[in-house]
Amino acid sequence: MTVAAEGLFATLFPSDCRFCGTRLVKISRLPVCEECLLSIRPLQGGVCAYCGERFIGPYQMIDGYGAAVCGACRRSGPVYEKAAAYGSYEGGLRDLIHLLKYQHVRPAAPVLGRMLSEVIGQLAPYFAPSGPVVVPVPLHSSKLRERGFNQVELFSRAALKLRPAGLDLALNPSVLERVRRTASQAGLTIHQRRENMRGAFRVQRPEAVYGRDVLLVDDVLTTGTTVSECARILHRAGGTRVWVATVARTLKHETSSQVADELSQPDKARMSMAAHG
Protein backbone atom coordinates (compact mmCIF):
# COMPACT_ATOMS: atom_id res chain seq x y z
CA MET A 1 0.00 0.00 0.00
CA THR A 2 1.31 3.47 -0.88
CA VAL A 3 2.26 6.13 1.65
CA ALA A 4 -0.69 8.23 0.47
CA ALA A 5 -3.09 5.35 1.01
CA GLU A 6 -1.70 4.71 4.49
CA GLY A 7 -2.14 8.39 5.32
CA LEU A 8 -5.73 8.32 4.09
CA PHE A 9 -6.42 5.18 6.13
CA ALA A 10 -4.99 6.84 9.26
CA THR A 11 -7.21 9.86 8.66
CA LEU A 12 -10.38 7.85 8.10
CA PHE A 13 -9.67 5.22 10.73
CA PRO A 14 -7.49 6.91 13.36
CA SER A 15 -5.82 4.72 15.95
CA ASP A 16 -3.34 5.42 18.70
CA CYS A 17 -0.51 3.30 20.07
CA ARG A 18 -1.83 1.44 23.10
CA PHE A 19 1.44 2.08 24.92
CA CYS A 20 2.41 5.69 24.32
CA GLY A 21 -0.70 7.18 22.70
CA THR A 22 1.10 8.26 19.53
CA ARG A 23 -1.05 8.32 16.38
CA LEU A 24 -0.37 5.25 14.25
CA VAL A 25 0.30 6.18 10.63
CA LYS A 26 1.02 2.67 9.32
CA ILE A 27 -1.65 0.06 8.86
CA SER A 28 -1.08 -2.77 11.31
CA ARG A 29 -3.18 -5.32 13.12
CA LEU A 30 -1.08 -4.68 16.22
CA PRO A 31 -1.96 -1.28 17.75
CA VAL A 32 1.58 -0.52 18.93
CA CYS A 33 4.00 1.90 17.31
CA GLU A 34 7.37 0.80 15.99
CA GLU A 35 9.25 2.91 18.53
CA CYS A 36 7.54 1.17 21.46
CA LEU A 37 8.27 -2.27 20.01
CA LEU A 38 11.91 -1.36 19.44
CA SER A 39 12.18 -0.22 23.05
CA ILE A 40 11.66 -3.82 24.23
CA ARG A 41 15.17 -5.11 24.75
CA PRO A 42 16.49 -8.54 25.74
CA LEU A 43 18.10 -9.20 29.11
CA GLN A 44 21.76 -8.32 29.30
CA GLY A 45 23.98 -10.41 31.60
CA GLY A 46 24.06 -10.37 35.37
CA VAL A 47 21.57 -13.23 35.84
CA CYS A 48 21.89 -16.74 37.23
CA ALA A 49 22.61 -19.36 34.59
CA TYR A 50 20.08 -21.73 36.19
CA CYS A 51 17.06 -19.76 37.37
CA GLY A 52 17.55 -16.52 35.43
CA GLU A 53 17.29 -14.31 38.54
CA ARG A 54 19.39 -11.15 38.75
CA PHE A 55 22.42 -11.22 41.01
CA ILE A 56 22.18 -8.93 44.03
CA GLY A 57 25.69 -7.72 44.70
CA PRO A 58 28.93 -9.29 43.44
CA TYR A 59 28.52 -12.58 45.32
CA GLN A 60 27.83 -15.26 42.76
CA MET A 61 29.55 -18.59 42.36
CA ILE A 62 30.88 -20.35 39.27
CA ASP A 63 29.76 -23.92 38.62
CA GLY A 64 31.82 -26.70 37.05
CA TYR A 65 30.97 -25.45 33.56
CA GLY A 66 32.14 -21.91 34.21
CA ALA A 67 28.61 -20.48 34.52
CA ALA A 68 27.67 -17.88 37.14
CA VAL A 69 25.12 -19.28 39.60
CA CYS A 70 23.20 -17.55 42.39
CA GLY A 71 23.58 -18.72 45.99
CA ALA A 72 20.06 -20.20 46.12
CA CYS A 73 20.67 -22.44 43.09
CA ARG A 74 24.11 -23.35 44.37
CA ARG A 75 22.62 -24.51 47.69
CA SER A 76 19.56 -26.21 46.23
CA GLY A 77 19.13 -26.16 42.48
CA PRO A 78 15.71 -25.78 40.86
CA VAL A 79 13.58 -28.76 39.83
CA TYR A 80 14.20 -27.85 36.18
CA GLU A 81 17.56 -27.85 34.43
CA LYS A 82 17.71 -24.24 33.36
CA ALA A 83 15.33 -21.31 32.85
CA ALA A 84 15.78 -18.55 30.30
CA ALA A 85 13.69 -15.48 29.43
CA TYR A 86 13.77 -12.90 26.66
CA GLY A 87 13.39 -9.74 28.72
CA SER A 88 12.53 -8.08 31.99
CA TYR A 89 8.85 -8.02 32.95
CA GLU A 90 8.45 -4.27 32.88
CA GLY A 91 7.62 -1.45 30.49
CA GLY A 92 6.78 -2.40 26.93
CA LEU A 93 7.23 -6.13 27.36
CA ARG A 94 4.81 -6.25 30.27
CA ASP A 95 2.34 -4.11 28.27
CA LEU A 96 2.63 -6.40 25.26
CA ILE A 97 1.92 -9.50 27.34
CA HIS A 98 -1.08 -7.75 28.93
CA LEU A 99 -2.31 -6.69 25.49
CA LEU A 100 -2.61 -10.34 24.50
CA LYS A 101 -3.51 -11.82 27.87
CA TYR A 102 -6.09 -9.36 29.18
CA GLN A 103 -7.16 -7.28 26.16
CA HIS A 104 -7.23 -10.26 23.78
CA VAL A 105 -5.24 -8.54 21.01
CA ARG A 106 -4.10 -11.70 19.25
CA PRO A 107 -1.70 -10.01 16.77
CA ALA A 108 0.62 -9.59 19.78
CA ALA A 109 1.22 -13.36 19.76
CA PRO A 110 3.60 -13.46 16.72
CA VAL A 111 5.73 -10.68 18.24
CA LEU A 112 5.97 -12.54 21.55
CA GLY A 113 6.61 -15.72 19.56
CA ARG A 114 9.62 -14.12 17.89
CA MET A 115 11.02 -13.25 21.31
CA LEU A 116 10.37 -16.77 22.58
CA SER A 117 12.14 -18.23 19.55
CA GLU A 118 15.29 -16.36 20.60
CA VAL A 119 15.03 -17.89 24.08
CA ILE A 120 14.64 -21.35 22.57
CA GLY A 121 17.75 -20.67 20.51
CA GLN A 122 19.68 -19.93 23.72
CA LEU A 123 18.60 -23.23 25.25
CA ALA A 124 18.97 -25.33 22.08
CA PRO A 125 22.65 -26.28 22.64
CA TYR A 126 21.60 -28.14 25.81
CA PHE A 127 18.85 -30.21 24.15
CA ALA A 128 19.19 -33.89 23.29
CA PRO A 129 19.53 -34.62 19.55
CA SER A 130 15.92 -35.79 19.38
CA GLY A 131 14.69 -32.44 20.67
CA PRO A 132 12.37 -31.90 23.65
CA VAL A 133 8.59 -32.05 23.76
CA VAL A 134 7.32 -28.47 23.93
CA VAL A 135 4.66 -28.13 26.64
CA PRO A 136 2.86 -24.82 27.34
CA VAL A 137 1.67 -24.21 30.90
CA PRO A 138 -2.10 -24.76 30.64
CA LEU A 139 -5.05 -22.69 31.76
CA HIS A 140 -7.86 -24.14 33.83
CA SER A 141 -10.77 -25.17 31.59
CA SER A 142 -13.02 -22.45 33.03
CA LYS A 143 -10.36 -19.80 32.40
CA LEU A 144 -9.86 -21.10 28.89
CA ARG A 145 -13.58 -20.72 28.20
CA GLU A 146 -13.54 -17.16 29.54
CA ARG A 147 -10.49 -16.04 27.57
CA GLY A 148 -11.09 -18.15 24.50
CA PHE A 149 -7.43 -19.09 24.10
CA ASN A 150 -4.27 -19.95 26.02
CA GLN A 151 -1.89 -17.09 25.30
CA VAL A 152 1.13 -19.32 25.99
CA GLU A 153 0.03 -21.84 23.37
CA LEU A 154 -0.53 -19.04 20.83
CA PHE A 155 2.95 -17.57 21.05
CA SER A 156 4.54 -21.03 21.41
CA ARG A 157 3.09 -21.98 18.01
CA ALA A 158 4.41 -18.73 16.56
CA ALA A 159 7.87 -19.40 18.04
CA LEU A 160 8.14 -22.91 16.63
CA LYS A 161 7.61 -21.55 13.12
CA LEU A 162 10.84 -19.60 13.65
CA ARG A 163 12.86 -22.36 15.30
CA PRO A 164 16.50 -22.76 14.26
CA ALA A 165 17.13 -24.98 11.25
CA GLY A 166 17.67 -28.60 12.18
CA LEU A 167 16.04 -28.27 15.60
CA ASP A 168 13.31 -30.88 15.97
CA LEU A 169 10.56 -29.51 18.23
CA ALA A 170 6.95 -30.61 18.54
CA LEU A 171 4.29 -28.72 20.47
CA ASN A 172 2.05 -30.89 22.64
CA PRO A 173 -0.44 -28.69 24.53
CA SER A 174 -2.38 -31.69 25.84
CA VAL A 175 0.42 -33.09 28.03
CA LEU A 176 -0.43 -31.01 31.09
CA GLU A 177 -3.85 -30.25 32.53
CA ARG A 178 -4.66 -27.67 35.18
CA VAL A 179 -7.11 -29.53 37.40
CA ARG A 180 -7.66 -26.80 39.95
CA ARG A 181 -8.40 -23.13 39.34
CA THR A 182 -5.81 -21.38 41.47
CA ALA A 183 -5.94 -17.93 43.03
CA SER A 184 -3.83 -15.16 41.54
CA GLN A 185 -0.18 -15.41 42.62
CA ALA A 186 0.16 -11.61 42.85
CA GLY A 187 0.82 -10.47 46.41
CA LEU A 188 1.44 -13.98 47.80
CA THR A 189 4.58 -14.98 49.67
CA ILE A 190 6.79 -17.70 48.23
CA HIS A 191 5.32 -20.22 50.71
CA GLN A 192 1.77 -19.19 49.80
CA ARG A 193 2.59 -19.48 46.10
CA ARG A 194 3.85 -23.03 46.60
CA GLU A 195 0.73 -24.03 48.49
CA ASN A 196 -1.42 -22.34 45.86
CA MET A 197 0.19 -24.41 43.09
CA ARG A 198 0.41 -27.71 44.93
CA GLY A 199 -1.74 -30.29 43.17
CA ALA A 200 -2.92 -27.77 40.57
CA PHE A 201 -1.65 -29.78 37.58
CA ARG A 202 -1.62 -33.34 36.32
CA VAL A 203 0.07 -35.07 33.40
CA GLN A 204 -2.69 -36.42 31.19
CA ARG A 205 -0.38 -37.66 28.41
CA PRO A 206 2.50 -39.41 30.26
CA GLU A 207 3.40 -41.44 27.18
CA ALA A 208 4.30 -38.20 25.38
CA VAL A 209 7.02 -37.31 27.90
CA TYR A 210 8.23 -40.68 29.18
CA GLY A 211 11.97 -40.90 28.54
CA ARG A 212 11.95 -37.50 26.80
CA ASP A 213 13.29 -34.05 27.55
CA VAL A 214 10.62 -31.37 27.98
CA LEU A 215 10.68 -27.68 27.10
CA LEU A 216 8.14 -26.04 29.41
CA VAL A 217 6.86 -22.66 28.18
CA ASP A 218 5.12 -19.88 30.12
CA ASP A 219 4.63 -16.14 29.68
CA VAL A 220 6.24 -14.82 32.87
CA LEU A 221 8.59 -16.36 35.42
CA THR A 222 8.40 -14.68 38.83
CA THR A 223 9.41 -16.94 41.73
CA GLY A 224 9.33 -20.12 39.65
CA THR A 225 6.66 -21.85 41.73
CA THR A 226 4.35 -22.57 38.77
CA VAL A 227 7.03 -24.02 36.49
CA SER A 228 8.60 -25.90 39.42
CA GLU A 229 5.31 -27.63 40.16
CA CYS A 230 4.92 -28.50 36.49
CA ALA A 231 8.50 -29.77 36.26
CA ARG A 232 8.00 -31.89 39.38
CA ILE A 233 5.03 -33.78 37.98
CA LEU A 234 6.65 -34.08 34.53
CA HIS A 235 9.63 -35.80 36.18
CA ARG A 236 7.24 -38.05 38.09
CA ALA A 237 5.61 -39.02 34.78
CA GLY A 238 8.95 -40.13 33.36
CA GLY A 239 10.25 -36.94 31.76
CA THR A 240 14.04 -36.82 31.91
CA ARG A 241 15.16 -33.18 31.86
CA VAL A 242 12.90 -30.12 31.94
CA TRP A 243 13.96 -26.79 30.46
CA VAL A 244 11.97 -23.60 31.01
CA ALA A 245 11.51 -20.84 28.43
CA THR A 246 9.50 -17.70 29.15
CA VAL A 247 9.01 -14.42 27.36
CA ALA A 248 9.59 -12.37 30.51
CA ARG A 249 11.31 -12.66 33.89
CA THR A 250 10.37 -10.65 36.96
CA LEU A 251 13.69 -9.66 38.49
CA LYS A 252 14.21 -8.87 42.16
CA HIS A 253 14.15 -5.09 41.84
CA GLU A 254 10.84 -5.27 39.93
CA THR A 255 8.88 -7.61 42.18
CA SER A 256 7.02 -5.00 44.24
CA SER A 257 6.08 -2.85 41.24
CA GLN A 258 4.99 -5.91 39.28
CA VAL A 259 2.70 -7.02 42.10
CA ALA A 260 1.20 -3.53 42.38
CA ASP A 261 0.65 -3.46 38.63
CA GLU A 262 -1.08 -6.84 38.63
CA LEU A 263 -3.35 -5.81 41.47
CA SER A 264 -4.25 -2.54 39.73
CA GLN A 265 -5.61 -4.19 36.59
CA PRO A 266 -9.15 -2.96 35.81
CA ASP A 267 -10.49 -6.47 36.03
CA LYS A 268 -8.62 -7.41 39.23
CA ALA A 269 -11.76 -8.80 40.85
CA ARG A 270 -12.28 -11.10 37.90
CA MET A 271 -8.57 -11.95 37.95
CA SER A 272 -8.59 -13.13 41.56
CA MET A 273 -8.82 -16.62 40.10
CA ALA A 274 -6.46 -15.95 37.21
CA ALA A 275 -4.65 -18.89 35.73
CA HIS A 276 -1.09 -17.53 36.01
CA GLY A 277 0.82 -15.77 38.71
**pLDDT tens readout for residues 119-176:** 999 999 999 888 999 999 999 999 999 999 999 999 999 999 998 777 889 999 999 9
172 and 52 in one domain? no
What amino acid occupies position 135? V
197 and 241 in one domain? yes
The total number of structural domains in the chain stands at 2
Q: What's residue 248's pLDDT?
A: 97
Q: What's residue 254's pLDDT?
A: 53
85 and 72 in one domain? no
Q: What is the mean pLDDT of residues 101-107?
A: 95
182 and 57 in one domain? no
Q: Is residue 268 part of a domain?
A: yes
Q: Is residue 177 part of a domain?
A: yes
DSSP-derived pairing of the beta strands 242-249 and 214-221: parallel
Q: Is residue 13 part of a domain?
A: no
158 and 190 in one domain? yes
**Contact assessment for residue 225 and residue 188, using Cβ atoms and an 8 Å cutoff:** no
Q: How many residues can be counted in the chain?
A: 277
151 and 207 in one domain? yes
Bridge partners (DSSP) listed for residue 62? 68
pLDDT tens digits for range 9-51: 444 455 899 999 999 888 788 999 999 999 999 998 788 888 8
More confident residue, 150 or 199: 150
249 and 266 in one domain? yes
91 and 58 in one domain? no
Q: Is residue 189 part of a domain?
A: yes
pTM of the shown model:
0.83
67 and 121 in one domain? no
Kindly list the distances between the CA atom of residue 212 and the CA atoms of 115, 131, 190, 207, in Å, as whole numbers in the listed order. 25, 8, 30, 9
pLDDT tens digits for range 61-74: 666 556 788 888 88
Q: What's residue 253's pLDDT?
A: 60
CATH number at residue 107: 3.40.50.2020
222 and 97 in one domain? yes
Q: What is the mean pLDDT of residues 260-265?
A: 44
- Please enumerate in sequence order all residues whose Cβ is within 8 A of that of 90, keeping only pairs 6 or more positions apart, or say none: 254, 257, 258
Residue that finishes a domain, picked among 26, 55, 77: 77
Cα-Cα end-to-end distance for the chain: 42
Residue 189's Cα: distance from chain center in Å? 20
251 and 152 in one domain? yes
Given a cut of 80, is residue 258 above it in pLDDT?
no
Q: By C-alpha distance, which of 206, 244, 209, 247 is closest to 225?
A: 244
Q: Is residue 20 part of a domain?
A: no
Q: What's residue 166's pLDDT?
A: 79
183 and 169 in one domain? yes
Given a cut of 60, is residue 59 above it in pLDDT?
no
Domain residues for 73? 45-77
pLDDT tens digits for range 225-237: 999 999 999 999 9
Q: What's residue 273's pLDDT?
A: 33
Question: What mean pLDDT, rounded, does the chain reach?
Answer: 84
Q: Is residue 19 part of a domain?
A: no
Residue that finishes a domain, picked among 77, 94, 128: 77
Q: Is residue 40 part of a domain?
A: no
Q: Is residue 17 part of a domain?
A: no
